[in-house]
Amino acid sequence: MRRPSRLRGRRKQVRPQTSPPALEAASETETAIIAPPPEPTEADLRRQWRVGERIQEICPEALRVIPRLSRNGFRTYLCGGCVRDLMLDLRPKDFDIATNATPRQVKRLFRNSRIIGRRFRLVQLTFQDKILEVSTFRAAIDPPSDSPDLLILQDNTFGTAEEDALRRDFTINGLYYDLECGRVIDFVGGLRDLDRRIIETIGDPWVRFREDPVRMLRAVKFASRLGFRLADDVYSAILDCRDELRKAAPARVHEELLRLTNMGGAHDAVRLMYRTGLLWVMVPELSDALDLLGAAEDQTAWTAYWAMLRNLDAATRAGEQPSNARLFAFMLWPLFKDELATGRPKADTEDPEDELGAIALRLRMSRRDAFIVRQIMYAQERLGAPKSKGGGRRRRRPGGAGFAQREWFGDAVFFFRARSLALGRDDLVQAYDAPVDEPRSD
């Protein structure tokens, strides 16, 4: 019979400051580094204090995580996009936390945690309906002197809060919020650029984009989503470094492409990618199709494409949650324009030589998303059928009840409405104003 242990059921205590020697040495100088910034105005203080009040409303979980880390001797802040959005009076999608605790030290403090990532190791804390990510302050990494390639493959060198801010991508993402004193900590001029509404890199943009080419897509995402403009040097660096995007992991490009089109900024994002040549690097077929539309004597299709993306953005900002397939269908419409005009869209989705198949492989689209994109296009002819087989009155749901029960039918009708409105065919939309039955899965 086993002897009962007195320690059973007790929470393990984590001793503070058990960091690696390099991290402890950095922490000794951190007090001097995090000197109070120039005295803010009273309006600035009120604005920053409201950030803390909004955190209590939006993310009470952060108020449980940060104090626990602080009680165990670790310097901990909210960081990145959530601070940026709160300062702009927007509702953050995610709340990220940065600390001088290592991933293992964070994991020992929270039972609802797991360490993830290889290139960038961090800790995920899982709550009932929210996931918080806790990262350790990182230091900049010097590339090998004998390599001309600046691409970062490992990023797990720990450092101080200021070093962590300096290695982030853009100034507006280099902000920290100290919950204890209710102040924004700004090492990089992010507050200034928020007021100027401009996207600036931290450091030389030519170097930062070569370190991580996906940052160019992120610059487009923030500019289009927030209504900011790219700084002149950032725009020039994208023009010079756009071919570096071929070195990025396709999965990251796929993820970022969806992010920059699903937050109500698809129109501005696609237009900016087209102007900078990023679209040509990722989807040359679409860029060439847009060249033809823009050069055509009849500008109807060119105008309609951008109007469709604005319709998509309006629906997204109104609360619609677009599927990945819907986003790709809107983005790739110029490739299907001629097929839809002739009424003979191709339905084959398995041919690897098919244009959509080649794009799907390059962008790492799932087979399901590629299939639904094709079905959305294939459905347009049936949705636009002007009369029933017997003639006379327009059918309410062309294709029959089975057609309306397909899982992609809602996306197809949404696309049909947006396309019809963009082409000035309001009459085609009226047949689909009534609610549709719940779709079934194939």
Domains delineated in the chain: 21-196 (3.30.460.10), 197-282 (1.10.110.30), 291-342+355-386+395-432 (no CATH)
Render pLDDT for 295-321 as a digit per residue (tens, 0 to 9). Answer: 988 898 999 999 999 999 999 999 888
d(CA 68, CA 66): 5
User: Catalytic residue at 96?
Assistant: yes
Instruction: Please tell me the predicted confidence (pLDDT) of residue 71.
Output: 93
Q: What are phi and psi of 186, to 5 degrees?
A: -130, 105
Of the pLDDT bands very low, low, confident and very high (cuts 50, 70, 90), residue 142 is low
Instruction: Please tell me the predicted confidence (pLDDT) of residue 280.
Output: 96
Cβ atoms 215, 245 nearer than 8 A: no
Render pLDDT for 81-118 as a digit per residue (tens, 0 to 9). Answer: 999 999 998 888 888 999 999 999 999 999 999 999 87
User: Catalytic residue at 94?
Assistant: yes
Find, among 10, 14, 176, 173, the residue nearest to 102 by Cα: 14
**Whether the predicted pLDDT of 17 surpasses 90:** no
Instruction: Please tell me the predicted confidence (pLDDT) of residue 32.
Output: 35
- Identify the active-site residue in 44, 85, 89, 94: 94
- Identify the active-site residue in 169, 212, 268, 313: 169
User: Catalytic residue at 212?
Assistant: no
Cβ atoms 434, 417 nearer than 8 A: no
Lowest mean pLDDT among 40-49, 106-115, 206-215: 40-49
d(CA 141, CA 397): 59
